[in-house]
Structure 1
């Protein structure tokens, strides 16, 4: 109670300060005590007004003022507890990190930073306060991720089960334009089977060498659609023969499957086209880099100058990029591999790194540039297009499971923090 009385007295003294002859006016008051922290009445009022303004702009209905105030206080208590934890963890968002975030936010809206600032101020908000609110949101997000993420466990079995469900749903909605060649077996003797297999292998070799499928089917197939060039037309898995349905899972347009043996002979299937199928192809990049992270010892200018010197040495043939990365790079994951980042979807990198790679030609080095991680030079080694549909489904399944469990654990974590905290709503005197 000592802390409570000291805090309330301090705020009241400030609020009542003024001329001795003037009528004292309350400027602000402590509304809630949260451990050793406080939530001011002005904070609650500001949050309520922001919500009302946003709701008015979007046409959203709101509950009564009492219910809205209760919800706001509840949210501010949670945020206060999380900010106190961030302080204990020493979590800090630097001005450089904040500026980078704001620039990315502006870019996502197709605005410059100055244009976004003008829009914020035109909406009646103070940009400096807006900037600090963004810093606060970043800290809240980070402390929640650090504390909750380690509580979430997603097993490979859960992922596999959900992936199969996703694939089955996608398969049901996909239609395939199928081409089919049957190399029949005259009788079931080992010799006849081997002769048929040999003919099927020859047909497959022709198709893999880009032979026309329809012409090949007319000349070689014993199937029911041979005269139509082996074309079975458009079918989904419920309409096609069972053998076909078992073979098309995970396949895409252009794939040739077989030879597959059945009682009738050896089948070769080509997926001529698909519709309704979700396929993801990614333009991947292979790159390597050197990262220097500014510190009290290594200034921003010194880091950039070092990378300028490294580039000059590499371009003059006086140094090897990989050896420099091993010796100086502060990216522990890639430094031991000479800075090699391997093949990756550029979308996984921070915007500054991704945009720099996009501007490079194969084999080209970038000039030193700054990202949220520090100063880099990067070399684009190669590009390729990769079918990542299976990975997309696996990632989607993991994210669905993770988000569900994360939300559950975040709620549990919040309740645990509140159960251990000292929280008192200060009644109006």
Structure 2
């Protein structure tokens, strides 16, 4: 037997494998250490290539590759620190949560998860790798929110101040169609004459609230310069109005009456006949009551549904009282003691099954039994209205603007503190 020949085979095999092994190590070399974790060159390259591809599609000019690599490395270091914190917190993203997120992504693109998978694989990428990348992004987002949200404080005064600034900016485009009635007071009028003029002004407002035509009342009662024109002052912005009017009219809605406003000339009554250039936010609100039964070992799904079906039959026949049934049987502790009743609420805040059933009902109608993730329900629509949420929407907008700004500031501070407390070493240039 030729022992030299046998020994030569593994030696030769090892020699042939060395260049390939060296090449693999070169591709995946460590560019940074982050506590007990590492950032690999291949991860940096993946981000850089992705940025280049997006820039190429959008026709965007990029900085040098060196700058891109530095930015990508910083991003990966931050991400690694956050994922390490998530691991210490015991935070995990379930497959169900991940699948729901992927379904939402696919829906935004006008397709299904299958379409999303086909699109990713058609581009030569791994769908499984994409799933894990999305899982990582969800994890990073949740850790950041839980850590940074509690660092953000916004006072009511900050919201009010910003809302005033925003109102001044948007108020420039708001215009009001104004009707004006003046109940004149002579310059030498005594207190009795002034009081008499005030009473006349109050009577004019009473007539207008009863539905009397504004122009006719103005022609008959007004001492203003535009009386013969029915008191019509036309369209004007806040800055074009007399200060007395501007302060009282700003923010008022169409058909609102303002006054009587006292000036040296007398008592003014102003009607906002129309408004333009203003964003109006209206929301449908509902008042309802319901009975909830939660299936259990004792109460099966079928029995819960059948019990509620019996309640519906008795209620429609007038043989039972909804409030009494709710107090006796409903397992919703928040509403049972109130006869199952919910106060005026935006229905979009309810779970989909409850919301959709409620909005399908006519006033006073009682639903058939239906299932939500809480259990089996019947619900009755008591009333419906359209609520003006314009002011609330403005306050919400101011809060969101402040929150986004402060969240960015606090995120930067939090990340810097994380870096300072961690052992991070960049090796790329060593």
Q: Same fold (TM over 0.5)?
A: yes
Residue by residue, what CA displacement relative to the aligned partner does 1:301-326 show, whole Å, maximum 9, x if unpaired? x997797577546546699456666x
2:317 is matched with which residue? none
Which digits, 9 at most, give the CA deviation of each residue in 1:42-90, with x for residues without a partner? 3222222222222222222222222111111110111111111112222
Q: Structure 1 residue aligned with 2:371, among 365, 368, 371?
A: 368
- Structure exhibiting the larger radius of gyration computed from Cα positions: 2
- Greater CA drift, 122-131 or 169-178: 122-131
Cα separation, 1, equivalents of 2:100 and 2:375: 13
Among candidates 7, 17, 26, match of residue 23 of structure 1: 17
Q: 1 CA distance for matches of 2:337 and 2:123? A: 50
Alignment pair present for 1:167 and 2:167: yes
Return closer, same or farther for 1:169/1:426 CA change in 2, 3 Å cut-off: closer
1:300-315 aligned within 5 A: 308=305, 311-312=308-309, 315=312
Matched with 1:65 is 65
Q: Distance in 2 between matches of 1:291 and 1:139?
A: 35
TM-score by length of 1: 0.79
Q: 1:217 maps to what in 2?
A: 218
Kept in 2: contact 1:307–1:368 (CA 8 A)? no
Moved more, 252-261 or 100-109: 100-109
Q: Partner residue of 1:278?
A: 279
Once structures 1 and 2 are overlaid, which stretch shifts more, 278-287 or 405-414? 278-287
Counterpart-to-counterpart distance in 2, 1:71 and 1:359? 53
TM-score, L = length of structure 2: 0.79
- 1:199-253 CA-partner distances (Å, limit 9, x unpaired): 2222212222222211221122221111111110111122222221121122122
Whole-angstrom CA distance in 2 between matches of 1:146 and 1:232: 55
Corresponding residue number in structure 2 for 1:75: 75
Contact 2:238 2:250 in 1 (8 A): no
Whether the 8 Å contact between 2:353 and 2:371 is mirrored in structure 1 is no
Root mean square deviation, CA, Å:
3.6
Structure 2: stretches of 5+ with no match in the other structure: 1-12, 315-319
Alignment partner of 1:201: what SS?
helix
1:101 aligns with 2:101: yes
Distance in 1 between residues matched to 2:337 and 2:145, nearest whole Å: 28
Please name the residue that 1:414 is paired with. 415
Alignment of 1:269-418 (within 5 A): 269-286=270-287, 308=305, 311-312=308-309, 315=312, 320-321=325-326, 327=331, 342-346=343-347, 365=367, 367-369=370-372, 379=379, 381=381, 382-418=383-419
| Pair 1:262 & 2:256 matched | no
Q: Distance in 2 between matches of 1:183 and 1:397?
A: 40
C-alpha distance in structure 1 between counterparts of 2:119 and 2:357, whole Å? 28
Q: Can you give the 5+ residue segments of structure 1 that lack an aligned partner in the other structure?
A: 1-18
> Who is 2:139 aligned against?
139
The size of the alignment, in residue pairs, is 399
